[in-house]
C-alpha cells in the first residue's frame, strides 16, 4: 500500500473529523512498541487504544497510561461487523523480511505490530481476518473482535 493509501485508510479508521481537528498520529517505528495516542470507548464499555495503525483492546495490552485524546468508535465497530473472507492464526504468518510478515493469502503486515501482538495475545486463540490487500485486518481473540491492524505494502 502506498503512503497515500495508508494515510487515507488511517483517516477512515480513526474518524476523519477527529484527525482533521488534531495532529496526525505517529505509527510505531520498526522494532519499537506502539505509542498510544488515541482512546476509543465503545458503547459496550470496552476501551481501545490506537497509534493510528493498530487499534487494540486496552484490557489485552494493559497500557501503563491511557491516552487523553478521544476518538469516535463508529468506524471501529463497522470494521468489527464487516464480513471477512479469509482467516489465519498468528502461527500461520510467514516472516519474509525483518520488517514484514505475510498471511497465507499474501496480506503484508508490519513485523513491529505482529511481534508486539505476539507478546500480548494468546497465539492459540488469536486469529486474523482479512478481505483483500490494503483493507484493515480484524484481530480476533477467543472468537471476539479485539482490534484492527492496518496492512502494509511490500
* Joined grid coordinates for residue 19: 484527525
Residue 124 per-residue DSSP state: G
Please, is 126 exposed, middle or buried when counting C-beta atoms within 10 Å of its C-beta (0-12, 13-18, 19+)? buried
pLDDT, residue 27, reads 75
CA atoms within 13 A on the CB side of 1: 23
* Joined grid coordinates for residue 41: 470507548
Is 111 among the domain residues? yes
Is 144 among the domain residues? yes
132, 37 in Cβ contact below 8 A? Answer: no
pLDDT, residue 20, reads 40
Is 154 among the domain residues? no
Is 103 among the domain residues? yes
CA atoms within 13 A on the CB side of 5: 10
Which residues form the domain of 78?
3-149
Is 115 among the domain residues? yes
- Give counts: helices (H), strands (E), the chain: 5, 10
Number of domains into which the chain is organized: 1
User: Which portions of the chain are predicted below pLDDT 70?
Assistant: 1-23, 154
In angstroms, rounded to a whole number, what is the distance separating the alpha carbons of residues 40 and 70? 6
Buried b (16+ CB within 10 A) or exposed e, 13-46: bbbeebbeeeeebebbeeeeebebbbbbeeeeeb
Amino acid at each position: 500500500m502506498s503512503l497515500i493509501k495508508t494515510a487515507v485508510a488511517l483517516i477512515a479508521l480513526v474518524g476523519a473529523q477527529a484527525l482533521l481537528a488534531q495532529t496526525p498520529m505517529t505509527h510505531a517505528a520498526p522494532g519499537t512498541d506502539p505509542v498510544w495516542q488515541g482512546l476509543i470507548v465503545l458503547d459496550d464499555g470496552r476501551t481501545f487504544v490506537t497509534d493510528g495503525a493498530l487499534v487494540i483492546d486496552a484490557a489485552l495490552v494493559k497500557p501503563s497510561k491511557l491516552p487523553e485524546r478521544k476518538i469516535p468508535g463508529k468506524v471501529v465497530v463497522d470494521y468489527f461487523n464487516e464480513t471477512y473472507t479469509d482467516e489465519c492464526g498468528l502461527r500461520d504468518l510467514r516472516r519474509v523480511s525483518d520488517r514484514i510478515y505475510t498471511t497465507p493469502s499474501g496480506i503484508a503486515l508490519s513485523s513491529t505490530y505482529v511481534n508486539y501482538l505476539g507478546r500480548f495475545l494468546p497465539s492459540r486463540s488469536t486469529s486474523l481476518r482479512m478481505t483483500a490487500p490494503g483493507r484493515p485486518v480484524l484481530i480476533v481473540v477467543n472468537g471476539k473482535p479485539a482490534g484492527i491492524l492496518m496492512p502494509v505494502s511490500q
